[in-house]
């Protein structure tokens, strides 16, 4: 019973003290709130961005992998007794040979970037010479996680018959076809040829340096004929029908492509296989450094807030010296006095934490809204914010509370 009475009394005294020094207390609450807002806000935004990236790669097919030429050519003799084998380009014949011979249950797509500086024209409208031009087959749209918003995809017959058809990105459609014109069935100029628009891709945005919604897809056979380039290296995208079979599919693909590339057992692989989930992990690893930086910023700010809170409580002890002496003379113990000041610091800390958590959630989800991520309530970071504010409050208030508890009541009563 005494505990609840003491608890209520200390709570009332703490609130009265906060109201009597409203400006000073408000500044301390704002400092704490800023630190928590920086911490919770950035971490909330990061969690939202992670969710958005995971969602995009899930739609793209997190169980896909790509066979491509190695980006870095190795000079000299490889170790382990392996013969040197130049990382030459993957040819069209090799890519098609792999597609025909790969019997694993999966969708296989062969594609290549034939130009990154194409100019697209429609009547008097034309784009800057920075449009990526891809030659693709009928499976590319599915394997790349793209969606057709208007029109349709290429058929396998159209690929074989070398049709002058094209699928364009949503941004490209908006720039070329003004006043809400329907792009479907219209002829656009790419290079020296005319191509009929049969599809418009759904908006997906730009990420990881990609062109996003400005891409232009042509039938692979047509792109090879009209945009010849002997230095083009083809890429092969594979999507197993079951995500659990990804590693098995990678092993099968590696073995078959070694045969296609005519490598013997001593040859190093002159190609690489990149899994889509490895890209996600790489992004998350980079984001983790931002998380560490955000945590350090928040902690540094909270250290400043802790120092400010400690100074305020030391001033409060000096101002309430006679009050402390009176309470001790009336029977209050050192523990009661210590609890009074700890209560005050904890309440100030939790008020600052609550304000900081609210502002952090709003700021983090504001960034999420701009990046197209989902609205989230970061319960883990909310709990972390509450706990860290409690720890900061106790650390900051302990020294002033101990100082108040050690005051001699006679000396305290004589204090002017």
Reported as a single tens digit per residue, the pLDDT across 237-272 is 998 887 567 888 999 999 999 999 998 888 888 899
The answer on pLDDT for 220 being more than 90 is yes
8 Å CB contact between 135 and 227 = yes
The confidence score (pLDDT) of residue 74 equals 44
Name residue, tokens 């899994």.
275
Q: Answer whether 262's CB lies under 8 Å from 98's CB.
A: no
Task: List, for residues 104-117, the tens digit of each pLDDT value.
Answer: 999 999 999 999 88
Name the CA dihedral angle for 74, 79, 271, 53, rounded to a multiple of 10 degrees: -90
pLDDT level of residue 165 (50, 70, 90 thresholds): very high
7-11, 282-286, 347-351, 394-398, range with the lowest pLDDT = 282-286
Predicted pLDDT at 97: 96
Judge whether 216 and 172 are in contact, CB under 8 Å: yes
Per the prediction, the chain carries an average pLDDT of 81
pLDDT at 280 over 70: no
Q: What is the mean pLDDT of residues 86-98?
A: 89
> What does the alpha-carbon distance between residue 325 and residue 148 come to, in Å, rounded to a whole number?
79
Higher pLDDT, 4 or 117: 117
Global model pTM greater than 0.75: no
Would you say 26 and 306 are in contact if contact means Cβ atoms under 8 Å apart?
A: no
Q: Running DSSP on this structure, what letter comes out for residue 244?
A: G
Predicted local distance difference test score (pLDDT) of residue 260: 94
User: Residue written as tokens 């000396």?
Assistant: 411
Among 387, 416, 60, smallest CA distance to 207 is for 60
Mean pLDDT of 90-95: 94
Quote the CA–CA distance of 148 and 141 in Å, as a whole number: 8
Whole-number Å distance between alpha carbons of 173 and 120:
10
Q: What is the pLDDT, as a whole number, of residue 379?
A: 84
pLDDT reading at 342 higher than 90: no
Share of the chain above pLDDT 90, in %: 30
Closest CA to 132 of 150, 144, 120: 120
Confidence at 61, pLDDT banded by 50, 70, 90: low
| pLDDT at residue 92 tops 90 | yes
pLDDT-derived band at 73 (thresholds 50, 70, 90) equals: very low
pLDDT of residue 77: 45
In a 3-state reduction of DSSP, which class is residue 414? coil
Cβ density class 232-242: b for 16+ within 10 Å, e for less: bbbbbbbbbee
Give the mean model confidence (pLDDT) for residues 216-225.
94
Residue 340 confidence (pLDDT): 79
Residue 139: HSE in the Cβ half-sphere, 13 Å Cα cutoff: 16
Residue 43 pLDDT grade (very low, low, confident, very high; cuts 50, 70, 90) = confident
Lowest mean pLDDT of 117-131, 325-339, 380-394, name the range.
325-339
pLDDT of 55 reads: 63
Q: Which residues pair with 55 in a beta bridge?
A: none
Q: Is the separation of the CB atoms in 189 and 129 below 8 Å? A: no
Please choose, from the candidates 141, 217, 237, 222, the residue with its C-alpha nearest in 3D space to the C-alpha of residue 173. 217
pLDDT band at 372 (very low <50, low <70, confident <90, very high): low
Q: What is the pLDDT of residue 316?
A: 76
Q: Looking at the predicted structure, is the pLDDT value of residue 20 above 80?
A: no
């Amino acid at each position: 019973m005494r505990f609840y009475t003491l608890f209520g009394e200390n709570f009332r005294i703490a609130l009265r003290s906060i109201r009597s020094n409203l400006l000073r207390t408000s500044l301390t609450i704002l400092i704490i709130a800023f630190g928590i807002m920086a911490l919770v806000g950035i971490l909330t935004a990061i969690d939202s961005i992670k969710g958005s990236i995971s969602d995009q790669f899930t739609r793209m097919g997190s169980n896909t992998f790509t066979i491509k030429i190695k980006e870095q050519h190795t000079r000299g003799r490889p170790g382990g007794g392996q013969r040197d084998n130049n990382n030459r380009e993957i040819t069209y014949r090799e890519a098609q040979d792999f597609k025909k011979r790969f019997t694993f249950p999966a969708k296989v797509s062969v594609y290549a970037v034939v130009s990154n500086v194409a100019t697209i024209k429609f009547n008097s409208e034309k784009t800057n010479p920075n449009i990526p031009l891809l030659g693709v087959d009928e499976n590319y749209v599915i394997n790349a996680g793209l969606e057709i918003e208007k029109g349709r995809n290429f058929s396998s017959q159209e690929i074989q018959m070398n049709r002058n058809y094209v699928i364009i990105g949503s941004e490209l459609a908006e720039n070329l076809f003004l006043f809400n014109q329907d792009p479907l069935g219209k002829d656009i100029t790419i290079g020296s040829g005319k191509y009929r628009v049969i599809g418009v891709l759904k908006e997906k945005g730009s990420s990881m340096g990609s062109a996003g919604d400005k891409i232009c897809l042509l039938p692979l056979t047509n792109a090879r004929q009209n945009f010849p380039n002997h230095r083009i290296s083809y890429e092969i995208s594979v999507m197993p029908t079951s995500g659990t079979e990804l590693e098995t599919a990678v092993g099968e693909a590696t073995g078959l492509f070694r045969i296609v590339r005519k490598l013997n057992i001593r040859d190093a692989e002159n190609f690489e296989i990149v899994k889509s989930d490895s890209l996600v992990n790489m992004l998350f690893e980079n984001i983790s450094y931002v998380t560490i930086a955000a945590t350090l910023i928040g902690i540094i700010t909270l250290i400043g807030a802790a120092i400010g809170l400690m100074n305020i409580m030391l001033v409060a002890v000096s101002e309430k010296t006679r009050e402390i002496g009176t309470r001790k003379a009336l029977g209050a113990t050192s523990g009661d006095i210590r609890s009074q000041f700890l209560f005050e610091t904890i309440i100030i800390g939790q008020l600052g934490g609550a304000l900081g958590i609210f502002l952090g959630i709003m700021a983090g989800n504001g960034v999420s809204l701009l990046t197209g991520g989902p609205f989230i309530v970061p319960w883990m970071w909310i709990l972390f914010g509450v706990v860290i504010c409690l720890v900061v409050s106790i650390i900051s208030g302990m020294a002033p509370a101990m100082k108040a508890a050690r005051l001699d009541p006679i000396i305290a009563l004589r204090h002017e």
